[in-house]
Structure 1
């Protein structure tokens, strides 16, 4: 499942790697060509985005799947985990940008404003400089640059971005529901991805069957910046889940403050 500023092409390295042992599916969400671009904003809500994933699974006759998503794709994956039993396992990469309740509304408006400066139905190319800034890339980080130059400048219609935050609640308002999720979860975050470190820790605290991996010197699109390491983390996680070895955390190992919160 893809992120806010990208489409299915960004999953190229992962599709090639994981298809050696699994059936892999990547798709462009509504509003992101070549998927349909409906004109009405009423069909672009976070609920639509995660239920579209279920429609894809139904179409492919897949009852359950390992869901892997960065950024906005992580949020949609989380919603699948919160509301259905369709996920075998959940991988969240760079989850929770703007989740701080103090800035949530401002963040959503800002993200929307980014895509509303020109005709919404027109295709757009994400500027390469914005892709690099969002990724937290520096001149020292060259591994992702070539791929970002091709797939990172993804083409999509603006409507998919413009309306993607409609009605979307911050993950901090979902703590009660998150605590009830027993699906195995892997949380991955780059240590330069400032907006996602605290939300990743929030998920780690409240998802009982979760593990957290921090990737050094990596930013928001760590699945491109550190492709081999990202693939290794996800592959090991899936292998442990399929072997029945990814177990929920023993509550006795938690701090008293966390147990009583």
Structure 2
């Protein structure tokens, strides 16, 4: 099986398909590389597409120490995959945890990003509830260690941001949680504790975000309440950003509305490649 090796010698499993300008897909916490299959099949018709499983997600390596699961490890891991493949620049398409990592690429390695798609981004960012969110992440990590991934999948399958997916596509929703039940529980616990529960709030990065010139598409489901505020915040402060709100949609955007997701991202990438997705014209901003 193909693996890229990170700076700290962690092997990351990846798959690729197609040829053309590269697109790399970064998955959310409850997913892995397989959850990008609808996008891999669609976008590989015109692009070189790469999807990989993050550290802590089989068949990638499962480091034992939670200290190597920080947000810095995750965004530099994405670059390690590109380095392994000899790719200088790519379009980054991320969901949730993967969107946060994609944003970090824009902040810390903008020369590697042709564009950023930030879907379902920013949950847990509210500063007034940040400590409560981090405490919940620590509790969730303990759940993985005590209940195992199958137990966590059973108790989280009706989380508020997943209800619309369950109502629209019960079969897809069931498949999603069956896959979560197979995740390595220790890898999930480490990711929950050190990435999800320790990453900085995007609201603390305002000045840095204002300097990011990379074309950015922000996508949010209108029933993914934890991400609505952060998505609006990013729209206001990322200079070359656009915001697409999916009606009656929750967190798992690429699986809940695959056709709409693909169409929206495809149009964005085409405009970015044509140089037609620039910074907002200041004349459109209310004084």
Aligned residue number for residue 78 of structure 1: 103
Distance 1:171 1:225, change over 3 A: same
Distance 1:31 1:140, change over 3 A: closer
Please, which runs of 5 or more residues in structure 1 have no aligned partner?
Answer: 257-261
TM superposition shift of 1:168: 1.2
Give the secondary structure class of the aligned counterpart of 2:30.
Answer: coil
How do residues 59-208 of structure 1 correspond to structure 2 at under 5 angstroms? Answer: 59-84=84-109, 85-119=111-145, 124-125=149-150, 126-127=152-153, 130-138=156-164, 141-143=167-169, 145-152=170-177, 153-154=179-180, 155-157=182-184, 158=188, 159-165=190-196, 167-208=198-239
TM superposition shift of 1:3: 0.6
TM superposition shift of 1:104: 1.3
Count of residues in correspondence between the two structures: 254
Query: Structure 1 CA distance, aligned partners of 2:116 and 2:90?
Result: 9
How do residues 47-58 of structure 1 correspond to structure 2 at under 5 angstroms? Answer: 47-58=72-83
Query: Structure 2 CA distance, aligned partners of 1:160 and 1:139?
Result: 24
Distance 1:98 1:160, change over 3 A: closer
Check conservation: 2:117, 2:216, Cα contact below 8 A: yes
TM superposition shift of 1:147: 2.2
TM superposition shift of 1:164: 1.8
Check conservation: 2:135, 2:197, Cα contact below 8 A: no
Please, which runs of 5 or more residues in structure 2 have no aligned partner?
Answer: 1-25
Check conservation: 2:120, 2:224, Cα contact below 8 A: yes
- Judging by fraction of residues, say which structure has more helix: 2
Q: Which has the higher relative contact order, 1 or 2, with Cα contacts under 8 A spaced 6 or more apart?
A: 1
Distance 1:33 1:123, change over 3 A: farther
Query: Structure 2 CA distance, aligned partners of 1:13 and 1:131?
Result: 21
Give the secondary structure class of the aligned counterpart of 2:114.
Answer: strand
